[in-house]
Amino acid sequence: MARLERLPDFEREYLLGLPLPEFPTTAWVTPPDLARCRVAIVSTAGLQRRGDAPFAENSADYRVIPGDIGANDLVMSHISVNFDRSGFQQDLNIAFPLDRLKELAAEGVIASVADYHYAFMGATDPRQMESGARHVAGMMKVDQVNAVILVPV
Amino acid sequence: MSALAHYFEQEGLATTTIALVRPHAERIRPPRALWVPFELGRPLGVPNDPAFQRRVLRAALDLLRRPAGPVLEDYPEEAPEEARREEDEGGWACAISFAPPPGDPAAMTLAERFLDEVRQLEPWYGLGLERRGRTTVGASGLTVPEAARYIGAFLGAEPPASPRADIGAGLALKLACEDLRAYYFESALAQPGQGRATSDSISDWFWTETVAGEVFWALKEVCLKSGDPMMVAMGRYILVPRKQMKGVGDNPEFSGGSFGVAPR
């Protein structure tokens, strides 16, 4: 479905017409060996703990998701209706691969999993998220994170 | 998503990004991106398939070993649902059958028939909850019957006030609608033979065969006539999927709208 040639014309044109931020250069940080990486997940699926304030239109803030969150404590308040939610309803790892990451840590593929993960709501212009993202980066460094996997929805 | 990678990397954190829309990753050029050929909403590919998900995750993490970038790599494996979707389009039928409502259905309002249908799904929803040990219903903070009654009230003469002090009526309605949709989907996924269902077939069932779908289509018209900008935006863009509307909201020229950037 994310193969553009499989989408209806209106959907393809819509996605290709979305305004995108421009980055003239790409910063590059060389991480340690993968086996020494402490990894955090940052999602733009509008995920939140059950009971947290929901995301709204144009929300540029973020929610904190503790690494020991129970499966039934994670819900989604993304504003868009134009992506599949039935996968997430069946298995949270389809959009938030916390269990898979913990397995890789247990096997020594990565060093460890962060204590905290973060969620933004991807329908908002990402330029509005810059301040929140930089704040999140600071918190991840306090958590000794040295590699981040970003997962869209 | 790719834009956030720039901000994190500028702050000194190495990143790797899963990308669902390849042209967006090509334009934004994050340091490391793995494009995956999966449908929107399923960045790890296949629910309840840990081995598949691990392969995707490993491929994304392995990009952290690259000596220089930007790197944009294609993930080679398709999700099995894609093949099933093409072979079996329209082949899945929801086995849940609804009993006729008590009394004369013609004498019942749409909102009353909706509440009756919601009640009839309770055993299936309960079964799904028991099997999965979790539910995604609940972002509205309302119980399912409360959310259904709140939605139904919009079909009456006067729009109801928000049931929550911290959010407005429009956002509360959006959250209640998503909770109800999750309730229906989770109920359908608990039925026999759900393994053959695709995301499209479940969605088509909801939007074309249920009273809830009928309610949501009616609600769309209510939203469009509202004086509340949030409600109007909801009616246009975030209540009924573009796939079901066969287009982009009510305005084919739409390219930004009241959200600044159009909600995907």
pLDDT at A148: 98
In a domain, A70, yes or no: yes
ipTM score above 0.85: yes
* Closest chain A CA to residue B125: A89
Of A48, A57, A95, the CB nearest to B233: A57
Report how far residue A133's alpha carbon sits from residue B3's, in angstroms, rounded to the nearest whole number: 10
Q: At what angle do helices B110-120 and B211-224 cross, to 10 degrees?
A: 140
Q: pLDDT tens digit string along A86-131?
A: 999 999 999 999 999 999 999 999 999 999 999 999 999 999 999 9
Residue B77's Cβ-count burial label (10 Å; 0-12, 13-18, 19+) is middle
Q: Are B60 and A109 an interchain contact pair (Cβ–Cβ within 8 Å)? A: no
* A99 or A4: which leads in pLDDT: A99
Residues of chain A with Cβ-Cβ distance to B258 below 8 Å are 57
pLDDT at A2: 63
pLDDT at B260: 32
pLDDT at B86: 65
Q: Which domain holds residue A77?
A: 32-151
Q: Are B57 and A101 spatial neighbours (Cβ–Cβ below 8 Å)?
A: yes
Report how far residue B118's alpha carbon sits from residue B207's, in angstroms, rounded to the nearest whole number: 15
- From A13-22, A49-58, A118-127, B122-131, the region with the lowest mean pLDDT: A13-22
- With an 8 Å Cβ cutoff, is B230 touching chain A? yes
Nearest to B45 by CA among A63, A136, A151: A151
Q: Are A9 and B246 spatial neighbours (Cβ–Cβ below 8 Å)?
A: no
Q: Are A137 and B12 an interchain contact pair (Cβ–Cβ within 8 Å)? A: yes
Q: What percent of chain B has pLDDT over 90?
A: 73
- With an 8 Å Cβ cutoff, is B229 touching chain A? no
- Mean pLDDT of the A58-80 span: 97
- With an 8 Å Cβ cutoff, is A133 touching chain B? yes
pLDDT at B12: 98
In a domain, A63, yes or no: yes
Report how far residue B147's alpha carbon sits from residue A89's, in angstroms, rounded to the nearest whole number: 18
Report how far residue B107's alpha carbon sits from residue B59's, in angstroms, rounded to the nearest whole number: 58
- Mean pLDDT of the A18-27 span: 93
Q: Which two tokens stand for residue B62?
A: 């392995």
* Chain B contacts in chain A segment 26-85 (CB below 8 A): 26-31, 33-34, 37, 39, 42, 44, 48, 50-51, 53-54, 56-58, 70-72, 74-77, 79-85
- What is the amino acid identity at position A112? S
What residues of chain B score a pLDDT lower than 50?
251-263
In a domain, A52, yes or no: yes
* B81 or A65: which leads in pLDDT: A65
CB atoms within 10 A of CB A93: 23
In a domain, A144, yes or no: yes
- Mean pLDDT of the A35-40 span: 98
pLDDT at B222: 95
> Distance, in angstroms, between A116 CA and closest chain B CA?
15
Q: For chain A, what is the domain count?
A: 1
Nearest to B141 by CA among B117, B115, B167: B167
- With an 8 Å Cβ cutoff, is B54 touching chain A? yes
